[in-house]
Structure 1
Amino acid sequence: MTAKKAFPTWLKGILIAVLIIGAFIGWKAYQIFWGPSVTDAQEYLYVHTNDSYESVLRRIRQENLVKDPEHFNIVAKAMDFPESVKAGRYKLTPGMSNRKLIGNLRAGLQDPVKLRFANIRLKENLAGLLGKSFEADSAQFSAILNNEAVAEQYGFTKDNFFAMFIPNTYNIYWNTSPDKVIERLNEEYKKFWTAERKGKAEKQNLTPIEVSILASIVRGEALHNDEMPQIAGLYLNRLKKGMLLQADPTVIFANNDFTIRRVLNKHLTIDNPYNTYRYKGLPPGPITMAPIVAIDAVLNPAQHDYIYMCAKEDFSGYHAFATTVTEHLVNARKFQKALDDRNIKK
Structure 2
Amino acid sequence: MQALLRKGIGLSIIIVSFLLGWQLWEYDLFKKRPLTVPEQGQRINIRPGTPFKLVTRSLADNGIIKKPYLLEWSARLQGKAAKIQAGEYQIAHGMLPGEFLDMLVAGKVVQYSFTLVEGWNVRQLLAALKQNPDISQTLMSPDAGQLMHELGLDKAHAEGWFFPDTYHFVRDTTDKALLQRAYATMQKQLDEQWQQRAPGLPYSSPYEALIMASIIEKETGVVEERQQIAGVFVRRLQKGMRLQTDPTVIYGIGETYDGNIRRKDLTTDTPYNTYTRGGLPPTPIAMPGLAAIHAALHPAQGDSLYFVASGGGAHVFSATLEQHNEAVIKYQLKGKRRAFSSHPEGKNNKGKP
TM-score, normalised relative to structure 2: 0.69
Alignment of 1:101 with 2:97, yes or no, is no
State the match for 2:209 in structure 1: 211
State the match for 2:246 in structure 1: 248
State the match for 1:136 in structure 2: 136
State the match for 1:28 in structure 2: 26
1:144 and 1:178 in contact (8 A); partners too:
no
State the match for 1:92 in structure 2: 91
Unaligned runs of 5+ in 1: 1-7, 341-346
**Offset, 1:271:** 4.4
1:113 and 1:133 in contact (8 A); partners too:
no
CA deviation map 1:97-134 (0-9, x unaligned): 44653565477553555655333512243345556385
Alignment of 1:192 with 2:217, yes or no, is no
**Alignment partners' CA distance in 2, 1:23 and 1:56:** 27
Alpha-carbon distance change, 299 to 43 in structure 1, aligned in 2, over 3 angstroms: farther
State the match for 1:344 in structure 2: none
**Offset, 1:297:** 0.9
2:186 maps to amino acid: Y
**Alignment partners' CA distance in 1, 2:225 and 2:118:** 17
- C-alpha root-mean-square deviation of aligned residues, in Å? 4.7
Moved more, 234-243 or 248-257: 248-257
Alignment of 1:121 with 2:127, yes or no, is no
1:333 maps to amino acid: I
1:218 maps to amino acid: I
Q: Identify the match of residue 334 of structure 1 among 311, 327, 330.
A: 330
Unaligned runs of 5+ in 2: 1-6, 337-353
State the match for 1:41 in structure 2: 40
Q: Identify the match of residue 167 of structure 1 among 158, 164, 178.
A: 164
Map 1:201-280 onto structure 2 (within 5 A). 203-206=200-203, 207-255=205-253, 256=255, 260=259, 263-280=261-278
Alpha-carbon distance change, 129 to 325 in structure 1, aligned in 2, over 3 angstroms: same
**Alignment partners' CA distance in 1, 2:83 and 2:111:** 20
CA deviation map 1:48-107 (0-9, x unaligned): 789999998999799x7x634x54587469969999996534343333344653565477
Alpha-carbon distance change, 24 to 259 in structure 1, aligned in 2, over 3 angstroms: farther
State the match for 1:149 in structure 2: 149
State the match for 1:110 in structure 2: 109
Secondary structure of the structure 1 residue equivalent to 2:333: helix
Secondary structure of the structure 1 residue equivalent to 2:109: coil
1:144 and 1:150 in contact (8 A); partners too:
no
2:323 maps to amino acid: E
Secondary structure of the structure 1 residue equivalent to 2:211: helix
1:272 maps to amino acid: T
2:136 maps to amino acid: A
Alignment of 1:322 with 2:321, yes or no, is no
2:159 and 2:284 in contact (8 A); partners too:
yes
Q: For this pair of structures, how many residues does the alignment match?
A: 324
2:318 maps to amino acid: A
**Offset, 1:36:** 1.6
**Alignment partners' CA distance in 1, 2:332 and 2:228:** 22
**Alignment partners' CA distance in 2, 1:54 and 1:254:** 60
CA deviation map 1:315-338 (0-9, x unaligned): 142222223333322222333324
2:83 and 2:105 in contact (8 A); partners too:
yes
**Offset, 1:226:** 0.9
State the match for 2:347 in structure 1: none
**Alignment partners' CA distance in 2, 1:209 and 1:52:** 50
**Alignment partners' CA distance in 2, 1:292 and 1:334:** 33
Moved more, 40-49 or 282-291: 40-49
TM-score, normalised relative to structure 1: 0.70
Alpha-carbon distance change, 214 to 49 in structure 1, aligned in 2, over 3 angstroms: farther
**Alignment partners' CA distance in 1, 2:144 and 2:25:** 54
Secondary structure of the structure 1 residue equivalent to 2:279: coil
